[in-house]
Each structure stands twice: as C-alpha cells, then as structure tokens.
Structure 1
Amino acid sequence: MDTPTPETSGSAAQQEAPAEQPPAEHPLVVRFATWMAGSREAGLAMLQRDAPDVLPGHPPAAYKRPGLRQHEYKRPGMVRQQGESIREPAADLFGRLRQVTRLFSARHKIHGFDLDESLGRFDGTTKLGMKHPLIRGEVRRLYVLQQELQRKCLTTVLMNLSPAPRAAFILRVILGFSRDEVHEIFGSPTGASSAYSRALQDLGEYLDHVCEHVEPKNPCRCENRLASAVEHGFVTWPERDDLAGDTPVRSQRRQEYEKLFAALPAPQ
C-alpha cells in the first residue's frame, strides 16, 4: 500500500503546520493597557485580536505613522545594549498606542471604587491594631498594608478619570513619554494638551483638599483610614513584593501629582 503524502492527502501538511501566532505586543503597549484598564488581565483583554483594528469613524491610515519602526525607536534614557535582540514585530509603536487610546475611549469606561464609601472618610479615628489577623503583630505588615492603601487609593482616583485624560497622564507621567511624543501618539497637539490639563484639573479637584500626600495638612491619612479600608474590603493583603515595609506611610511635604503617581507600583 502506498504511503499517503501531503500532496496526495491534502490535509497532512495542514495538520502539521504550526498555528499562526498573534504578533507580540511591545512591552510599553502592554504596560499602557495595564494602567488604562487597572489590571494586566483586563489590559491584555483589550489587546486581543478581536478588538477592531479600525474604529468606526476613523480611516485605516489613522493608526499609521510611516517610517517609524520599533528598532528605530528610542525614548530618552532608554539605551539598547550591544547585541540585544529586537522583539518582533517591528511595528509602529506610536500608532499602536494611539489605537489603544482610541479603543478605550470608544469602548472602555472604567468605574472605580467610590472612595468615600469604601474608606468611610468621615470616620478616620480607629487605627488598625497590631493584633489584627492581617498584621499578626508584625509592624512591617502594617506598613505594607499602608503602602497598599496608598497605591489602591491613588490608582482608584486615576481610574475614575475619563479615558483621554487618563491616557495622557499615564503616557506622560507613568510611562515617561515626552510632551511631543504624547502629541504624536494622540495625533493632535491640542487634543493631547487639553487631555493632560483636564487630568491635572480632575486630580486636583479630588486630592487637593483631601489627600495628605498632596498636602500634609489634609485630613485623609493612610494610617487613620486603614482600619476602615480593611473593614470595607477595599484593602486586603497584597500578593506582591514591591511594597516597602520598612517605614510608615506618612507625608512630610507637599508633593506634585506627577511625582506622586510616577512612584506608584503598577497594577497587576
């Protein structure tokens, strides 16, 4: 009996051929989507292939910036080591970030926690005791929980911004793109500047008269709100290792929003 060949069977070659893999996303695109969505899982979901390549009302060329390749792209401060491999695809990074921004603006509205409800802002008199099950008598665990509260609080405020201001702020402050680069990503200097200004305005409206990290004289302090945050389930023990436990979370001086948010650990 003759042995079937791919030419005669017509299916063997297809069965043995590896499945086509979607192109790998640039790490900065993944980080951007993670911050925009509030978690890596939700961010990656927004990058799946079933998300539309072209949004309604936008021409196909809207996401392309001819000539820009990943291997040609170098942000200030980023130095590629000699011989370092270049991740594929060599795609238009700015165009992809622009696409993700528009996807969130068109499809994805995040509603964060209501901080007033979650923290009980008008009841900050009870501190979390050292005998609490989450602390176990270890002061380091208390400080880690305070760090987690600060991270969760500020991230929640950021998530409550509208998509365009949130994107402009994340690109500029957290991912470190320059003003001109953010203008390029948005495709409109006016639109990018307006979105960034709106982000600062909205952050200020909530934080300026509340958060101790913006102004030390403000009433909301992490050590005083932690017990309420734990009670309401707003803070649980964080399964991460990037929160310091060597010092308490106390503000000593006024901080600008940019420095405050740039120091935050990324969502997971």
Structure 2
Amino acid sequence: MLKIPEETPPARRTILVTGATGAVGRHLVHQLAAAGHRVRALSRRPAQANLPREIEVVQGDLSDVASLVHAFEGVSAVHLITFTGDNGESLSNGDELIRLAERSGVRNATVLGGWDETSVEQALRGSSIGWTRLEPVEFMGNALEWAASIKEEGVVRMLATWPSAVVHEADIAAVAAVALTQEGHEGKRYPLSGPQALTPAERTAFIAMAVGRHLTFETLSEDQERERLRSYGYPEDYVEFGIQLARTPPVQAAIVVPTVEQITGRPGRTFASWALENAHAFRA
C-alpha cells in the first residue's frame, strides 16, 4: 500500500507584546501563554521583567527601531503601545516601526490607544497590516495613585468627583488577545469600559471594604489639586491638563459599554474585584 506522507504542520509563529511589563501588557503575556500561544515580551530592561521562565523576553526600545529587528523576527502579530520611555511621550517614529513590522511578516496588530492618535496609528492606516484600536476609558489601576494617602492617613483627596466607567486592565488584555488570535477584528475601534460608572468616593468605599478599614474621601480645591499632581513629579502642562480634566470630564467617561462581554464572551470585571486583588497595595 502506498503510504501518503503526512503534511508538515506550518511553523508556529510568535506574538510580540510591547509594553509587556505594563499594566495591560503583563496581563496579555500571561493570557496568551495560558492559551498556548508562543509569546515574546519586549522590555527595555529584560532583567527586571519578572515574567515566567517560558516567556521569551527580548530587549528593545520602541523609540529606536534599530533595537527592534530581533524582537520582530518571526512575528505574525503584535500588540503595540504608542508611547515611549518613562515620560510617556507619544512615539514619533510610527512609519519606521510599522515598516519593520511589515518586513518581518506581521499580519495583524492591536494598538492600545490614548487620548489622540499618534504616528503609529497613522502609519498602520497606510499599511498592509490588519489592526484593531483599543480605547479604554480609564484604568482601574489608576487608583493605585491613592495608595500612599490611604496607607498613611486613611483618606483619598482629589478635585474630580465625576463618575468613570473604569475598566480592569485584564479585560483590556482579554480583548487584545481575542483580536490578535481570531479573525474579524481588523479595522475595528473598540471602546472599553468596566461594568459600572463609579465616582472616586464610591471607589474609595470599595477599597475600604477590601482592606477592612474606614476610609474617607475629600474634595480638593484647584490649588490643592495642583499641589497633589506636582507631588507625583508631573510637569506643569500635565498638571494644568489634570485640572481641566477634573473640571470637564470627557463625555464618554461615565458611559458603560458592553464591548468586553461582546468580544470575550464574559462580563467585565468589577472594581470591587480589582480592589480585593490589589488590597495589599493599600494596607499600611
């Protein structure tokens, strides 16, 4: 009997995660690996990445495309952030970055979008890569900025009092994982929210329940808010941006959208669950 040779399965391609040690990227690396995908994590400081041994961690800086050639080798999909370094400035080298991605064989991408589009989105729009823009309203993890005042004084102080439909970083990652590994998401923009719109005072109450301690919320004046923002080391232009944001929130801030459940098939995580997961950060 003639034996028909078995077909050699195609080589498994790699998914590159930039910002792999960040709030969203770290979740995405873990989720993709748990689903059986080959994951490569990009870090400017691989020795400090603190990722599982099975994850390939490579060094590179998004602002220096020459440093990324190895990172993109054999990559079929990539999750992109659009800012650089510790100062969070928008990338200005999107054309070079996306040309490298195309030459390397990248077929699809997700982009963690910010307030405005950057050179990365502009370059993707003219490329052969199918891409999806993720547009979270506000990270639940932003509440970690309150940790010092909660631990030291049992209080949260800020100017803003408006509700925000904060989204869990793991849910942003889950949507990215689907868009990177399944068809039909190219060309889409996905607004992402959590299941509830909560004021800072309401989020403070959930943290209080998680840590088992009474906490209070105090509304600051504009001058007091400036001093609070300066205490984090923010530059003056960001401080003034923060004041304007506190006074005039974006229209979409309090809008709950069903995108997470529609894309992932399960409800978004609540802030109460986030507070329990991160209660250690708020305990003295």
Q: Structure 1 length as normaliser, TM-score?
A: 0.28
More strand by share: 2
> Whose helix proportion is higher, 1 or 2?
1
TM-score, normalised relative to structure 2:
0.27
Q: Whose radius of gyration is greater, 1 or 2?
A: 1
Which fold has the larger relative contact order, with Cα–Cα distance below 8 Å and residues 6 or more apart in sequence? 1
